Structure 1
Amino acid sequence: MKFIDLHCDTLMHTVGREGNLSLLQNNQTSVDFGRMNEGGSLAQFFAVFLPTEEMFMENAGEVIEDDIYINTLVETLKKEIAGNIHMIGLAGSYDDIIQNEKDGRMSAILTIEDGRSLEGSLDKLRHYHDMGIRLISLTWNFENCFGYPNSDDKNIMTKGLKEFGREAVEYMNELGMIVDVSHLSDGGFFDVAKISKKPFVASHSNAREISPHKRNLTDQMIRILGEKGGVAGINFAPHFLQPDTNTDRSTVELMVRHLNHMRNVGGEDVVALGSDFDGIGGDLEVDSIEKMPMIFQALQKDGWSIGQIEKLAYKNSLRVIKESMK
């Protein structure tokens, strides 16, 4: 079964390590090209996650300016792809993915997690598009030029997009960059739903009805996402899956429960994969990319048809890519 994973944080592990971390094969991350190929990957979205100052100091020993950091990780991925061009190619559009598949190659898609580096500049948004960035998670865990994050503070949670955020969503639609609402406040989600003329995604978020973490989506959000033609990629992190968000165990059984709920609420076209590999920890039953078929096997046992599993695995995400990315 082919699959598309909408989010992994693997690239951040290529900075601050002794020696070079091979994206072809290594034993330090959950995602590499070899295991992607083994699992049946069609395309992987590789996020450039922007760390906090504390994270920079811990991992790299110094704070790296955002655009230098972004350039470094983008060039790292491009260099690794160039060295393994027989296996994987960079994709900036639906047509690129289809051509790569015809050529026997997987696809890698670049994203940014946290739009803070834009600093209110639409010109920089175009610059990132020119670099190959095709999705931006508007916020991470802090306020930025787009708006506000998920929060336990109800006052923050109800806040919507800032004026730049509204303009940027419209410009992302025009450029062909996918708008990602994972980590965004509830108010921001509803603003994106009103403003975006293209399908948008929650690249790595689950059902709040089952797991009450604020990073997850309410049933209302899941319905709206489905109505807008978007998708939610199921996150493998324990605290986004478990009814008790302090529990540290992630299981396929819980993923099936979330996916059934999301499908029942938003329709079978709303479900997708968003592992959050290499950005999450805990006791993970599916702890690396080649184990992705475990989910498909469990869904088939649960009564999902092959057609429904294919939608979850890659067809729903591919539809959004075709409509929203160029």
Structure 2
Amino acid sequence: MKYIDMHCDTILTVPDDGSSELLINNPKASVDFDRLRQSDAMAQFYAIFLMNEEMFKEEGKKYIPDDEYILRSVNMLKEAVKNTNYMEMAYNYNDLMNNSSNDKISALLTIEDGRSATSIEKIKRYHDLGIRLITLTWNFENSIGYPNSDDKTIMQKGLKNYGFKAVEYMNEIGMLVDVSHLSDGGFYDVASIAKKPFVASHSNSRALSPHNRNLTDEMIKIIAEKGGAIGLNFAPEFLAKDITNTHSKIELMINHLNYIKNIGGEDVIALGSDFDGIQGNLEISGSHEMPKLFDALKNNGWSETQLEKLTQKNMLRVIKETLK
């Protein structure tokens, strides 16, 4: 079954001296082009995760300033796509549908952490580069707003003045607003001003797994009312009641999908695996194993219509209504 995955960190797996060919075939990663083809993917969103200097050191990589790193990552993905006959870049709904009709898998670009998007001009520059989604924050405060946090004071803080302008501009130019990692206060600010559907690209239900990165029932309902989508995150700590859990199980994924579907309706469910950004014992270890989830959902009583909404139709609607 064709599917759209809203989030992976696979670009991180390519070393400084690595080749773009590692995006095509790389057994050490959870996602590569060959396995996307094997699993009958329709589209993969590739996040450009902005590491700080300490993370670069931990990864044994030379520090690269944000804009240089973004440009390098964009060019690397585009180069890899050009070196295949079954992948193609996509920037909007028409691109994606044209690619699909030509039996090509679409690659879409995102930025995880809006810390580099410090002006409207920079957001426009990223859009011109082909970026079509920005995760507004990661785990630290930036010029847009505040992160998801165990600190209740930080959690209650919303968008900064510039953050409101950034969200409005992203709506205007056709770029998806992603609230995964955003503070609860920031979530409600986005909801109050968003004129287009927005997404939580890789988040689950907080009622089932009390990690602050997950969404409350009210948040699920709001995203649904706005016509947005919630991408199921495969990370173990976001799936279980015990947030120290290290086992990502299909059974737990189904629990979250059923819960989110029951709270927000079947039009809000989507996929956001977070492959290559998660660790632990993964029952679905990479894109090649995605059909395991779909088969399990069928056995759980999901109809073909519900499966199609989860795997592609809900995100196709969101893409059609937002991206330019």
In which range does the TM-score fall when normalised by the shorter chain? over 0.9
Residue of structure 2 equivalent to 1:147 = 145
Residue of structure 2 equivalent to 1:64 = 64
Aligned residues of 2:16 and 2:62 also touching (Cα < 8 A): no
Distance 2:60 2:319 in 1: 33
Residue of structure 2 equivalent to 1:11 = 11
Structure 1 residue ranges (4+ consecutive) displaced by more than 3 angstroms after TM superposition: 17-21
* CA shift for structure 1 position 15: 3.3
Aligned: 1:313 with 2:314: no
Aligned residues of 1:90 and 1:109 also touching (Cα < 8 A): yes
* CA shift for structure 1 position 58: 2.2
Distance 2:220 2:20 in 1: 40
Aligned-pair identity in percent equals 57
Number of equivalent positions: 324
Distance 1:69 1:25 in 2: 22
1:10-35 alpha-carbon deviations (Å, 9 max, x no partner): 01112335666521111110000110
Residue of structure 2 equivalent to 1:226 = 224
Distance 2:93 2:61 in 1: 38
* CA shift for structure 1 position 179: 0.2
Distance 1:224 1:270 in 2: 10
1:211-247 alpha-carbon deviations (Å, 9 max, x no partner): 0000000000000010000010000000000110001
TM-score by length of 1: 0.98
> Which residue identity is paired with 1:135?
L
Residue of structure 2 equivalent to 1:93 = 92
Residue correspondence of structure 1 range 34-49 to structure 2 within 5 A: 34-49=34-49
Segment of structure 1 superposing worse, 126-135 or 50-59 = 50-59
Residue of structure 2 equivalent to 1:196 = 194
Distance 1:12 1:115 in 2: 17
Aligned: 1:271 with 2:293: no
> Which residue identity is paired with 2:114?
G
Distance 1:71 1:13 in 2: 16
Distance 1:300 1:19 in 2: 39
Indicate the SS of the match to 1:110. strand
Distance 2:212 2:133 in 1: 22
Indicate the SS of the match to 1:22. helix
Residue correspondence of structure 1 range 1-326 to structure 2 within 5 A: 1-16=1-16, 22-84=22-84, 86-119=85-118, 121-326=119-324
> Which residue identity is paired with 2:56?
F
* CA shift for structure 1 position 62: 2.3
Distance 2:231 2:223 in 1: 12
Q: CA RMSD in A?
A: 1.0
Which structure 2 residue ranges, 5 or more long, are not aligned?
Answer: none
Segment of structure 1 superposing worse, 232-241 or 18-27 = 18-27
Which structure 1 residue ranges, 5 or more long, are not aligned?
Answer: none
TM-score by length of 2: 0.98
Segment of structure 1 superposing worse, 105-114 or 298-307 = 298-307
Indicate the SS of the match to 1:135. strand
Distance 1:293 1:20 in 2: 26
Segment of structure 1 superposing worse, 138-147 or 23-32 = 23-32
Indicate the SS of the match to 2:31. coil
Distance 1:318 1:247 in 2: 32
Distance 1:305 1:103 in 2: 27
